[in-house]
Protein backbone atom coordinates (compact mmCIF):
# COMPACT_ATOMS: atom_id res chain seq x y z
CA UNK A 1 0.00 0.00 0.00
CA UNK A 2 1.51 3.36 -0.94
CA UNK A 3 1.59 6.22 1.57
CA UNK A 4 -0.77 8.40 -0.50
CA UNK A 5 -3.54 5.85 -0.62
CA UNK A 6 -2.97 5.08 3.07
CA UNK A 7 -3.49 8.74 4.04
CA UNK A 8 -6.61 8.99 1.93
CA UNK A 9 -8.09 5.81 3.38
CA UNK A 10 -7.28 6.63 7.02
CA UNK A 11 -10.05 9.25 6.97
CA UNK A 12 -12.51 6.77 5.49
CA UNK A 13 -14.85 5.27 8.18
CA UNK A 14 -15.06 1.93 6.34
CA UNK A 15 -11.27 1.76 6.30
CA UNK A 16 -11.09 2.40 10.05
CA UNK A 17 -13.68 -0.32 10.71
CA UNK A 18 -11.88 -2.71 8.43
CA UNK A 19 -8.58 -1.99 10.11
CA UNK A 20 -10.12 -2.68 13.51
CA UNK A 21 -11.42 -6.03 12.27
CA UNK A 22 -8.03 -6.99 10.85
CA UNK A 23 -6.23 -5.95 14.04
CA UNK A 24 -8.73 -7.88 16.15
CA UNK A 25 -8.08 -11.01 14.11
CA UNK A 26 -4.37 -10.39 14.51
CA UNK A 27 -4.66 -10.17 18.31
CA UNK A 28 -6.83 -13.30 18.48
CA UNK A 29 -4.32 -15.28 16.45
CA UNK A 30 -1.48 -14.11 18.70
CA UNK A 31 -3.43 -15.28 21.74
CA UNK A 32 -4.12 -18.65 20.14
CA UNK A 33 -0.47 -19.10 19.30
CA UNK A 34 0.50 -18.16 22.83
CA UNK A 35 -2.14 -20.50 24.27
CA UNK A 36 -1.12 -23.56 22.31
CA UNK A 37 2.56 -22.86 22.77
CA UNK A 38 3.15 -24.61 19.45
CA UNK A 39 6.29 -23.48 17.63
CA UNK A 40 5.89 -22.63 13.99
CA UNK A 41 8.42 -23.96 11.52
CA UNK A 42 9.12 -23.27 7.87
CA UNK A 43 7.17 -26.44 7.06
CA UNK A 44 3.98 -24.91 8.49
CA UNK A 45 1.45 -23.65 6.02
CA UNK A 46 1.70 -20.26 7.79
CA UNK A 47 5.42 -19.98 7.15
CA UNK A 48 8.16 -18.76 9.47
CA UNK A 49 6.13 -15.88 10.85
CA UNK A 50 2.61 -17.24 11.27
CA UNK A 51 1.27 -14.15 13.04
CA UNK A 52 2.43 -11.85 10.25
CA UNK A 53 1.01 -14.28 7.71
CA UNK A 54 -2.44 -14.30 9.28
CA UNK A 55 -2.41 -10.52 9.64
CA UNK A 56 -1.58 -9.93 5.98
CA UNK A 57 -3.99 -12.61 4.83
CA UNK A 58 -6.76 -10.96 6.83
CA UNK A 59 -5.91 -7.52 5.46
CA UNK A 60 -5.87 -8.86 1.91
CA UNK A 61 -9.26 -10.56 2.28
CA UNK A 62 -10.86 -7.48 3.84
CA UNK A 63 -9.52 -5.12 1.17
CA UNK A 64 -10.55 -7.55 -1.55
CA UNK A 65 -14.11 -7.88 -0.26
CA UNK A 66 -14.43 -4.08 -0.26
CA UNK A 67 -13.08 -3.82 -3.80
CA UNK A 68 -9.95 -1.93 -2.69
CA UNK A 69 -7.67 -3.82 -5.06
CA UNK A 70 -4.74 -1.39 -4.90
CA UNK A 71 -4.64 -1.63 -1.12
CA UNK A 72 -5.06 -5.42 -1.30
CA UNK A 73 -1.95 -5.88 -3.40
CA UNK A 74 0.79 -5.43 -0.78
CA UNK A 75 -0.64 -7.82 1.84
CA UNK A 76 -1.40 -10.28 -0.98
CA UNK A 77 2.20 -10.03 -2.22
CA UNK A 78 3.49 -10.70 1.29
CA UNK A 79 1.46 -13.90 1.80
CA UNK A 80 2.14 -15.04 -1.78
CA UNK A 81 5.88 -14.84 -1.11
CA UNK A 82 6.10 -15.87 2.56
CA UNK A 83 3.23 -18.30 3.27
CA UNK A 84 1.90 -19.47 -0.12
CA UNK A 85 0.23 -22.58 1.33
CA UNK A 86 -1.79 -20.71 3.95
CA UNK A 87 -5.02 -20.18 1.96
CA UNK A 88 -6.52 -21.04 -1.42
CA UNK A 89 -7.90 -17.48 -1.50
CA UNK A 90 -4.37 -16.27 -2.25
CA UNK A 91 -4.98 -17.76 -5.69
CA UNK A 92 -8.75 -17.54 -6.16
CA UNK A 93 -9.14 -13.95 -4.97
CA UNK A 94 -5.60 -13.12 -6.00
CA UNK A 95 -6.53 -14.12 -9.52
CA UNK A 96 -9.53 -11.80 -9.38
CA UNK A 97 -7.36 -8.96 -8.17
CA UNK A 98 -4.71 -9.43 -10.86
CA UNK A 99 -7.33 -9.75 -13.58
CA UNK A 100 -8.74 -6.43 -12.34
CA UNK A 101 -5.33 -4.81 -12.77
CA UNK A 102 -4.85 -6.33 -16.23
CA UNK A 103 -8.26 -5.13 -17.36
CA UNK A 104 -7.78 -1.58 -16.13
CA UNK A 105 -4.09 -1.00 -16.83
CA UNK A 106 -3.39 1.19 -19.89
CA UNK A 107 0.39 0.86 -19.93
CA UNK A 108 1.26 -2.25 -21.99
CA UNK A 109 4.46 -3.07 -20.08
CA UNK A 110 2.69 -2.90 -16.70
CA UNK A 111 -0.21 -4.92 -18.07
CA UNK A 112 2.25 -7.61 -19.19
CA UNK A 113 3.94 -7.57 -15.77
CA UNK A 114 0.58 -8.22 -14.09
CA UNK A 115 -0.14 -11.00 -16.58
CA UNK A 116 3.22 -12.66 -15.91
CA UNK A 117 2.54 -12.48 -12.18
CA UNK A 118 -0.87 -14.09 -12.69
CA UNK A 119 0.61 -16.87 -14.83
CA UNK A 120 3.23 -17.66 -12.19
CA UNK A 121 0.49 -17.59 -9.56
CA UNK A 122 -1.26 -20.48 -11.38
CA UNK A 123 1.93 -22.55 -11.19
CA UNK A 124 2.23 -21.93 -7.47
CA UNK A 125 -1.44 -22.77 -6.95
CA UNK A 126 -0.88 -26.19 -8.55
CA UNK A 127 2.16 -26.75 -6.31
CA UNK A 128 0.26 -26.11 -3.09
CA UNK A 129 -3.38 -26.93 -3.88
CA UNK A 130 -3.34 -29.34 -6.82
CA UNK A 131 -6.30 -29.38 -9.25
CA UNK A 132 -3.75 -29.42 -12.07
CA UNK A 133 -6.14 -30.01 -14.98
CA UNK A 134 -8.47 -27.21 -13.92
CA UNK A 135 -5.72 -24.69 -13.10
CA UNK A 136 -3.84 -25.38 -16.34
CA UNK A 137 -7.09 -24.62 -18.14
CA UNK A 138 -7.49 -21.35 -16.26
CA UNK A 139 -3.89 -20.45 -17.06
CA UNK A 140 -4.34 -21.28 -20.74
CA UNK A 141 -7.55 -19.26 -21.06
CA UNK A 142 -5.95 -16.30 -19.25
CA UNK A 143 -3.02 -16.31 -21.66
CA UNK A 144 -5.35 -16.73 -24.65
CA UNK A 145 -7.60 -13.86 -23.54
CA UNK A 146 -4.61 -11.55 -23.07
CA UNK A 147 -2.44 -12.76 -25.96
CA UNK A 148 -0.39 -10.06 -27.66
CA UNK A 149 1.55 -12.34 -30.00
CA UNK A 150 1.29 -15.56 -31.95
CA UNK A 151 3.66 -17.15 -29.45
CA UNK A 152 1.20 -16.36 -26.65
CA UNK A 153 -1.50 -18.22 -28.55
CA UNK A 154 0.79 -21.17 -29.23
CA UNK A 155 1.69 -21.33 -25.52
CA UNK A 156 -1.99 -21.08 -24.59
CA UNK A 157 -2.75 -23.94 -26.98
CA UNK A 158 -0.27 -26.23 -25.24
CA UNK A 159 -1.67 -25.37 -21.82
CA UNK A 160 -5.26 -26.04 -22.92
CA UNK A 161 -4.23 -29.25 -24.65
CA UNK A 162 -2.60 -30.49 -21.44
CA UNK A 163 -5.62 -29.42 -19.40
CA UNK A 164 -8.02 -31.40 -21.60
CA UNK A 165 -5.67 -34.39 -21.65
CA UNK A 166 -5.51 -34.47 -17.85
CA UNK A 167 -9.14 -33.49 -17.24
CA UNK A 168 -10.78 -35.82 -19.77
CA UNK A 169 -14.53 -36.03 -19.34
CA UNK A 170 -14.35 -33.66 -16.36
CA UNK A 171 -13.17 -30.78 -18.55
CA UNK A 172 -15.45 -27.76 -18.17
CA UNK A 173 -17.77 -26.73 -21.03
CA UNK A 174 -16.37 -23.22 -21.51
CA UNK A 175 -12.82 -24.47 -21.83
CA UNK A 176 -13.90 -26.98 -24.51
CA UNK A 177 -15.28 -24.48 -26.98
CA UNK A 178 -12.60 -21.84 -26.27
CA UNK A 179 -9.93 -24.49 -26.91
CA UNK A 180 -11.60 -25.34 -30.21
CA UNK A 181 -11.92 -21.65 -31.08
CA UNK A 182 -8.18 -21.13 -30.51
CA UNK A 183 -7.39 -24.06 -32.78
CA UNK A 184 -9.45 -22.57 -35.61
CA UNK A 185 -7.61 -19.25 -35.21
CA UNK A 186 -4.27 -21.04 -35.42
CA UNK A 187 -5.52 -22.96 -38.45
CA UNK A 188 -6.09 -19.62 -40.18
CA UNK A 189 -2.46 -18.82 -39.35
CA UNK A 190 -1.43 -22.18 -40.86
CA UNK A 191 -0.14 -23.41 -37.49
CA UNK A 192 -2.54 -26.37 -37.20
CA UNK A 193 -3.90 -28.56 -40.00
CA UNK A 194 -7.42 -29.38 -41.05
CA UNK A 195 -6.82 -32.92 -39.79
CA UNK A 196 -5.94 -31.48 -36.38
CA UNK A 197 -9.27 -29.63 -36.36
CA UNK A 198 -11.22 -32.75 -37.33
CA UNK A 199 -9.47 -34.89 -34.72
CA UNK A 200 -10.11 -32.27 -32.04
CA UNK A 201 -13.76 -32.01 -33.05
CA UNK A 202 -14.11 -35.74 -32.48
CA UNK A 203 -12.27 -35.62 -29.14
CA UNK A 204 -14.25 -32.71 -27.69
CA UNK A 205 -17.52 -34.06 -29.04
CA UNK A 206 -16.95 -37.28 -27.10
CA UNK A 207 -16.43 -35.33 -23.87
CA UNK A 208 -19.64 -33.38 -24.44
CA UNK A 209 -21.55 -36.57 -25.28
CA UNK A 210 -20.35 -38.16 -22.05
CA UNK A 211 -21.61 -35.27 -19.93
CA UNK A 212 -24.96 -35.05 -21.71
CA UNK A 213 -25.55 -38.80 -21.56
CA UNK A 214 -24.69 -38.90 -17.85
CA UNK A 215 -26.94 -35.98 -16.89
CA UNK A 216 -24.16 -33.63 -15.83
CA UNK A 217 -25.38 -30.76 -13.59
CA UNK A 218 -23.85 -28.50 -16.25
CA UNK A 219 -25.67 -30.20 -19.13
CA UNK A 220 -27.14 -26.94 -20.42
CA UNK A 221 -23.66 -25.40 -20.59
CA UNK A 222 -22.28 -28.45 -22.39
CA UNK A 223 -25.08 -28.13 -24.93
CA UNK A 224 -24.15 -24.47 -25.46
CA UNK A 225 -20.53 -25.51 -25.82
CA UNK A 226 -21.54 -28.01 -28.51
CA UNK A 227 -23.44 -25.31 -30.39
CA UNK A 228 -20.45 -22.96 -30.22
CA UNK A 229 -18.11 -25.67 -31.45
CA UNK A 230 -20.48 -26.44 -34.34
CA UNK A 231 -20.39 -22.76 -35.31
CA UNK A 232 -16.58 -22.68 -35.36
CA UNK A 233 -16.50 -26.03 -37.15
CA UNK A 234 -18.64 -24.77 -40.02
CA UNK A 235 -15.83 -24.20 -42.56
CA UNK A 236 -14.43 -27.68 -41.87
CA UNK A 237 -17.75 -29.53 -41.79
CA UNK A 238 -18.38 -30.67 -45.37
CA UNK A 239 -18.65 -34.36 -46.12
CA UNK A 240 -16.25 -33.81 -48.99
CA UNK A 241 -13.57 -32.62 -46.55
CA UNK A 242 -14.04 -35.70 -44.42
CA UNK A 243 -13.91 -38.02 -47.42
CA UNK A 244 -10.78 -36.40 -48.85
CA UNK A 245 -8.92 -36.64 -45.54
CA UNK A 246 -10.00 -40.03 -44.25
CA UNK A 247 -10.28 -42.13 -47.41
CA UNK A 248 -6.50 -42.23 -47.98
CA UNK A 249 -5.86 -42.72 -44.26
CA UNK A 250 -8.17 -45.75 -44.16
CA UNK A 251 -6.57 -47.15 -47.30
CA UNK A 252 -3.13 -46.89 -45.68
CA UNK A 253 -4.25 -48.25 -42.28
CA UNK A 254 -7.32 -50.45 -42.92
CA UNK A 255 -7.05 -52.32 -39.61
CA UNK A 256 -6.37 -49.38 -37.29
CA UNK A 257 -9.23 -49.58 -34.76
CA UNK A 258 -8.60 -46.07 -33.42
CA UNK A 259 -8.85 -44.69 -36.95
CA UNK A 260 -11.98 -46.75 -37.66
CA UNK A 261 -13.70 -45.39 -34.56
CA UNK A 262 -12.68 -41.83 -35.41
CA UNK A 263 -14.10 -42.13 -38.95
CA UNK A 264 -17.37 -43.59 -37.66
CA UNK A 265 -17.77 -40.88 -35.01
CA UNK A 266 -16.93 -37.97 -37.31
CA UNK A 267 -19.11 -39.08 -40.20
CA UNK A 268 -22.04 -39.75 -37.88
CA UNK A 269 -21.71 -36.35 -36.21
CA UNK A 270 -21.85 -34.64 -39.60
CA UNK A 271 -24.54 -36.99 -41.04
CA UNK A 272 -22.29 -38.15 -43.89
CA UNK A 273 -23.79 -41.64 -43.69
CA UNK A 274 -23.75 -42.51 -47.39
CA UNK A 275 -20.01 -41.92 -47.88
CA UNK A 276 -18.19 -45.07 -49.04
CA UNK A 277 -15.39 -44.56 -46.50
CA UNK A 278 -17.94 -44.44 -43.68
CA UNK A 279 -19.63 -47.62 -44.90
CA UNK A 280 -16.29 -49.43 -45.14
CA UNK A 281 -15.13 -48.26 -41.71
CA UNK A 282 -18.43 -49.20 -40.08
CA UNK A 283 -18.45 -52.71 -41.53
CA UNK A 284 -14.80 -53.27 -40.59
CA UNK A 285 -15.28 -52.02 -37.05
CA UNK A 286 -18.30 -54.24 -36.46
CA UNK A 287 -16.49 -57.27 -37.86
CA UNK A 288 -13.35 -56.71 -35.80
CA UNK A 289 -15.03 -55.42 -32.65
CA UNK A 290 -18.73 -56.35 -32.46
CA UNK A 291 -19.51 -53.88 -29.69
CA UNK A 292 -22.69 -51.99 -28.89
CA UNK A 293 -21.22 -48.83 -30.41
CA UNK A 294 -20.28 -50.54 -33.68
CA UNK A 295 -23.68 -52.26 -33.86
CA UNK A 296 -25.40 -48.90 -33.43
CA UNK A 297 -23.18 -47.34 -36.09
CA UNK A 298 -24.01 -50.14 -38.50
CA UNK A 299 -27.71 -49.73 -37.67
CA UNK A 300 -27.53 -46.04 -38.61
CA UNK A 301 -25.78 -46.93 -41.84
CA UNK A 302 -28.47 -49.45 -42.86
CA UNK A 303 -31.20 -47.00 -41.86
CA UNK A 304 -29.61 -44.37 -44.12
CA UNK A 305 -29.58 -46.92 -46.95
CA UNK A 306 -33.25 -47.77 -46.39
CA UNK A 307 -32.75 -51.28 -45.00
CA UNK A 308 -34.95 -50.73 -41.95
CA UNK A 309 -35.32 -54.40 -41.04
CA UNK A 310 -31.55 -54.85 -40.76
CA UNK A 311 -31.25 -51.54 -38.92
CA UNK A 312 -33.86 -52.60 -36.37
CA UNK A 313 -32.04 -55.86 -35.68
CA UNK A 314 -28.72 -54.08 -35.20
CA UNK A 315 -30.25 -51.55 -32.84
CA UNK A 316 -31.58 -54.46 -30.79
CA UNK A 317 -28.07 -55.95 -30.72
CA UNK A 318 -26.67 -52.62 -29.53
CA UNK A 319 -29.24 -52.43 -26.74
CA UNK A 320 -28.38 -55.97 -25.61
CA UNK A 321 -24.62 -55.40 -25.76
CA UNK A 322 -24.37 -52.02 -24.04
CA UNK A 323 -24.10 -51.84 -20.25
CA UNK A 324 -24.79 -48.09 -20.16
CA UNK A 325 -28.43 -47.25 -19.44
CA UNK A 326 -28.06 -43.85 -21.10
CA UNK A 327 -26.77 -45.50 -24.30
CA UNK A 328 -29.58 -48.06 -24.23
CA UNK A 329 -32.00 -45.14 -23.89
CA UNK A 330 -30.42 -43.42 -26.91
CA UNK A 331 -30.70 -46.51 -29.09
CA UNK A 332 -34.35 -46.94 -28.12
CA UNK A 333 -35.03 -43.33 -29.02
CA UNK A 334 -33.37 -43.81 -32.41
CA UNK A 335 -35.58 -46.86 -32.94
CA UNK A 336 -38.60 -44.72 -32.07
CA UNK A 337 -37.48 -42.18 -34.66
CA UNK A 338 -37.03 -44.91 -37.26
CA UNK A 339 -40.54 -46.24 -36.64
CA UNK A 340 -42.09 -42.78 -36.63
CA UNK A 341 -40.54 -41.27 -39.75
CA UNK A 342 -39.63 -44.27 -41.91
CA UNK A 343 -41.92 -47.15 -41.00
CA UNK A 344 -44.93 -45.01 -39.94
CA UNK A 345 -45.54 -47.53 -37.16
CA UNK A 346 -46.72 -45.04 -34.56
CA UNK A 347 -47.68 -47.42 -31.79
CA UNK A 348 -44.34 -49.22 -31.96
CA UNK A 349 -42.56 -45.86 -32.07
CA UNK A 350 -44.21 -44.90 -28.78
CA UNK A 351 -43.18 -48.21 -27.23
CA UNK A 352 -39.52 -47.51 -27.98
CA UNK A 353 -39.81 -43.94 -26.70
CA UNK A 354 -41.36 -45.20 -23.48
CA UNK A 355 -38.47 -47.64 -23.05
CA UNK A 356 -36.05 -44.73 -23.44
CA UNK A 357 -37.94 -42.88 -20.69
CA UNK A 358 -37.66 -45.86 -18.35
CA UNK A 359 -33.89 -46.03 -18.85
CA UNK A 360 -32.89 -42.39 -18.35
CA UNK A 361 -34.39 -40.01 -15.82
CA UNK A 362 -34.88 -36.31 -16.52
CA UNK A 363 -34.55 -36.65 -20.29
CA UNK A 364 -37.05 -34.62 -22.26
CA UNK A 365 -36.38 -35.83 -25.78
CA UNK A 366 -38.44 -39.05 -25.55
CA UNK A 367 -41.45 -37.00 -24.42
CA UNK A 368 -40.94 -34.67 -27.38
CA UNK A 369 -40.86 -37.78 -29.56
CA UNK A 370 -44.13 -39.12 -28.14
CA UNK A 371 -45.76 -35.75 -28.75
CA UNK A 372 -44.54 -35.90 -32.35
CA UNK A 373 -45.90 -39.44 -32.65
CA UNK A 374 -49.34 -38.28 -31.51
CA UNK A 375 -49.27 -35.40 -34.01
CA UNK A 376 -48.39 -37.79 -36.83
CA UNK A 377 -51.13 -40.22 -35.76
CA UNK A 378 -53.87 -37.63 -35.11
CA UNK A 379 -55.40 -37.72 -38.58
CA UNK A 380 -55.94 -41.48 -38.33
CA UNK A 381 -57.18 -41.57 -34.72
CA UNK A 382 -60.88 -41.19 -34.00
CA UNK A 383 -63.92 -41.36 -36.21
CA UNK A 384 -64.63 -37.63 -36.40
CA UNK A 385 -62.81 -34.29 -36.52
CA UNK A 386 -63.33 -33.57 -32.83
CA UNK A 387 -61.67 -36.80 -31.70
CA UNK A 388 -58.80 -36.26 -34.10
CA UNK A 389 -58.27 -32.72 -32.83
CA UNK A 390 -58.40 -33.94 -29.23
CA UNK A 391 -55.22 -35.92 -29.84
CA UNK A 392 -53.38 -32.57 -30.04
CA UNK A 393 -54.18 -32.04 -26.35
CA UNK A 394 -52.24 -35.21 -25.49
CA UNK A 395 -49.35 -34.15 -27.74
CA UNK A 396 -49.07 -30.73 -26.10
CA UNK A 397 -49.18 -32.42 -22.68
CA UNK A 398 -46.02 -34.30 -23.63
CA UNK A 399 -44.26 -31.15 -24.84
CA UNK A 400 -45.13 -29.31 -21.64
CA UNK A 401 -43.89 -32.16 -19.50
CA UNK A 402 -40.69 -32.48 -21.52
CA UNK A 403 -39.66 -28.88 -20.86
CA UNK A 404 -40.66 -29.14 -17.19
CA UNK A 405 -38.05 -31.85 -16.58
CA UNK A 406 -35.37 -30.94 -19.13
CA UNK A 407 -34.39 -27.31 -19.87
CA UNK A 408 -32.38 -28.49 -22.87
CA UNK A 409 -35.57 -29.20 -24.84
CA UNK A 410 -37.49 -26.07 -23.80
CA UNK A 411 -36.99 -24.25 -27.09
CA UNK A 412 -38.16 -27.19 -29.21
CA UNK A 413 -41.08 -27.86 -26.86
CA UNK A 414 -42.25 -24.24 -26.89
CA UNK A 415 -42.20 -24.08 -30.68
CA UNK A 416 -44.35 -27.19 -30.89
CA UNK A 417 -46.76 -25.97 -28.23
CA UNK A 418 -47.34 -22.73 -30.14
CA UNK A 419 -47.73 -24.56 -33.46
CA UNK A 420 -50.06 -27.37 -32.42
CA UNK A 421 -52.23 -25.49 -29.92
CA UNK A 422 -53.78 -23.88 -33.01
CA UNK A 423 -55.33 -27.24 -33.87
CA UNK A 424 -57.25 -27.65 -30.61
CA UNK A 425 -61.06 -27.95 -30.98
CA UNK A 426 -62.84 -24.60 -31.04
CA UNK A 427 -65.36 -23.37 -28.49
CA UNK A 428 -68.39 -24.47 -30.52
CA UNK A 429 -67.10 -28.02 -30.93
CA UNK A 430 -66.48 -28.35 -27.18
CA UNK A 431 -69.88 -26.83 -26.32
CA UNK A 432 -71.65 -29.07 -28.83
CA UNK A 433 -70.39 -32.12 -26.93
CA UNK A 434 -71.50 -30.67 -23.57
CA UNK A 435 -67.88 -30.47 -22.44
CA UNK A 436 -66.11 -27.74 -20.44
CA UNK A 437 -62.81 -25.99 -20.90
CA UNK A 438 -60.38 -27.27 -18.26
CA UNK A 439 -62.20 -30.53 -17.62
CA UNK A 440 -60.59 -33.96 -18.02
CA UNK A 441 -60.97 -35.88 -21.25
CA UNK A 442 -60.02 -39.52 -21.87
CA UNK A 443 -58.66 -40.46 -25.28
CA UNK A 444 -59.73 -44.10 -25.02
CA UNK A 445 -59.87 -44.71 -28.74
CA UNK A 446 -57.16 -45.60 -31.24
CA UNK A 447 -54.19 -46.92 -29.18
CA UNK A 448 -53.36 -43.71 -27.31
CA UNK A 449 -55.25 -44.24 -24.02
CA UNK A 450 -54.29 -40.93 -22.39
CA UNK A 451 -56.19 -38.73 -19.96
CA UNK A 452 -55.78 -35.10 -20.95
CA UNK A 453 -57.29 -31.67 -20.29
CA UNK A 454 -59.82 -29.93 -22.54
CA UNK A 455 -58.47 -26.69 -24.01
CA UNK A 456 -60.08 -24.36 -26.54
CA UNK A 457 -58.11 -22.79 -29.32
Per-residue model confidence as pLDDT tens digits over 20-30: 444 444 444 44
Q: Are 136 and 126 in contact (CB under 8 A)?
A: yes
Query: Domain residue spans in the chain?
Result: 379-457
Q: Are 245 and 198 in contact (CB under 8 A)?
A: yes
pLDDT confidence of residue 294: 87
306-331 average pLDDT score: 94
Helix (H, G, I), strand (E, B) or coil at 185: helix
* Rounded CA separation 252/389 (Å): 58
Strand partners, 244: none
pLDDT confidence of residue 382: 86
CA torsion sign, 256 to 259 to 264 to 267?
A: negative
pLDDT confidence of residue 235: 82
* Rounded CA separation 411/420 (Å): 14
Q: Are 60 and 22 in contact (CB under 8 A)?
A: no
Strand partners, 220: none
Among 414, 373, 374, residue whose Cα is nearest residue 391: 374
- Give CB contacts under 8 A, 24+ apart, made by 227-235: 228/177, 228/180, 228/181, 229/176, 229/177, 229/180, 229/201, 229/204, 229/205, 232/177, 232/180, 232/181, 232/184, 233/180, 233/184, 233/197, 233/201, 235/184
Phi, psi (5° rounding) for residue 186?
-75, -25
Burial 274-291 (b: 16+ CB within 10 A, else e): ebebbbbbbebbbeeeeb
Q: Are 305 and 342 in contact (CB under 8 A)?
A: no
Model-level pTM?
A: 0.65
* Rounded CA separation 87/392 (Å): 59
17 pLDDT higher than 60? no
Q: Are 200 and 176 in contact (CB under 8 A)?
A: no
pLDDT confidence of residue 49: 80
Identify the burial level of 112 via C-beta atoms within 10 angstroms of its C-beta, where 0-12 means exposed, 13-18 middle and 19 or more buried.
middle
Among 152, 215, 151, 140, residue whose Cα is nearest residue 176: 140
Q: pLDDT band at residue 127, thresholds of 50, 70 and 90? A: very high
pLDDT confidence of residue 216: 85
Helix (H, G, I), strand (E, B) or coil at 88: coil
Dump the DSSP string for 286-322.
HHH---HHHHHHHHHHHHHHT-HHHHHHHHHHHHHH-
* Rounded CA separation 129/401 (Å): 44
Segment 411-453, tens digit of pLDDT: 999 999 999 999 999 999 999 999 999 999 999 999 999 999 9
Q: Across the chain, what does the average pLDDT equal?
A: 87
* Rounded CA separation 455/138 (Å): 52
| C-alpha gyration radius of the chain | 30
Helices (H), 189-238: 194-213, 219-233
* Rounded CA separation 237/194 (Å): 10
* Rounded CA separation 236/197 (Å): 8
Q: Are 352 and 330 in contact (CB under 8 A)?
A: no
Indicate the Cα dihedral angle 335, 340, 341, 342, nearest 10°. Answer: 70
* Rounded CA separation 442/188 (Å): 60
CA torsion sign, 209 to 211 to 215 to 218?
A: negative
* Rounded CA separation 367/140 (Å): 40
Q: Which helix (H) or strand (E) holds 442?
A: strand 440-443
The DSSP call for residue 40 is P
* Rounded CA separation 453/443 (Å): 10
* Rounded CA separation 127/208 (Å): 29
Segment 177-223, tens digit of pLDDT: 999 999 999 999 999 988 899 889 889 988 998 888 888 888 889 98
99 CB-side CA count, 13 A: 14
Pairing of β 440-443 and β 450-453? antiparallel
Q: pLDDT band at residue 356, thresholds of 50, 70 and 90? A: very high
Segment 246-289, tens digit of pLDDT: 899 899 888 888 889 888 888 888 888 888 999 899 989 888 88
Amino acid sequence: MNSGSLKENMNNPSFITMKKVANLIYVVVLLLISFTGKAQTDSSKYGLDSAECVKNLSLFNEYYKQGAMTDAFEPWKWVFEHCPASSKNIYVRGGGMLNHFILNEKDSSKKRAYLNTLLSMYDQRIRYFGEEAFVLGEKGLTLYDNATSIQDKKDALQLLKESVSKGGNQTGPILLYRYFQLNTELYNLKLVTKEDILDLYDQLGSIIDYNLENNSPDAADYEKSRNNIETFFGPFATCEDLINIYSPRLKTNPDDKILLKKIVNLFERKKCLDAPVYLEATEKLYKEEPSAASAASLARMYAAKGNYTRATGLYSDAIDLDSSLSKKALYNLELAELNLYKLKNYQQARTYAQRAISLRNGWGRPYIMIGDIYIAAASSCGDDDFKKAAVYWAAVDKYQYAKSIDPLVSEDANKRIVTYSKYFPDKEAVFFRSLKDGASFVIDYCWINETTTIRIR
